[in-house]
């Protein structure tokens, strides 16, 4: 039998961290991609306005009005009557319900007034109109 030499029983003093760093980097990239892919909504061409502080709040309800006059509450298409009943239910749960309206820039103004009338009837006080930032 062959005896083991001292070189064969050498203990490794260093730990190779390269595979661990590769794994951490890949996980970071996956989380970044998943976080940016989860943004939802209806795409509309927003009008332009000057810089203003954001009015978005965590429980904000978004009303979107498309160019052809369709109304969406968050991402669900609704009629004016459905909009009023759903907002009324949300307001019953949260009296300080914040609402933002996103109207297409080419939209007929009358449709926005109809939605604003619903918001006024429900006495929703926290209201915002979404616009694009003015590019300088």
Q: pLDDT digits over 38-95, tens only? A: 555 667 777 776 665 555 445 788 899 988 889 999 888 999 999 999 999 999 988 8
Distance between CA atoms of residues 28 and 86, nearest Å: 39
Residue-range domains of the chain with CATH: 48-133 (3.30.420.270)
pTM over 0.85: no
Residue at token pair 């616009």:
131
Count Cβ atoms within 10 A of the Cβ of residue 65 and give its class: 0-12 exposed, 13-18 middle, 19 or more buried: buried
């Amino acid at each position: 039998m062959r005896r083991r030499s001292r070189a064969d029983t050498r203990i490794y003093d260093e730990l190779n961290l390269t595979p661990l760093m590769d794994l951490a980097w890949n996980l970071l990239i996956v989380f970044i991609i998943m976080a940016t892919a989860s943004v939802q909504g209806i795409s509309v061409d927003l009008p332009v306005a000057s810089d203003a502080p954001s009015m978005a709040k965590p429980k904000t309800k978004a009303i979107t009005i498309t160019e052809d006059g369709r109304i969406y509450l968050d991402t669900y298409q609704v009629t004016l009557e459905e909009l009023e009943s759903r907002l009324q239910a949300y307001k019953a749960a949260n009296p300080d319900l914040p609402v933002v309206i996103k109207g297409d820039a080419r939209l007929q103004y009358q449709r926005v007034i109809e939605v604003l009338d619903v918001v006024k009837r429900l006495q929703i006080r926290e209201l915002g109109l979404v616009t694009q930032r003015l590019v300088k």
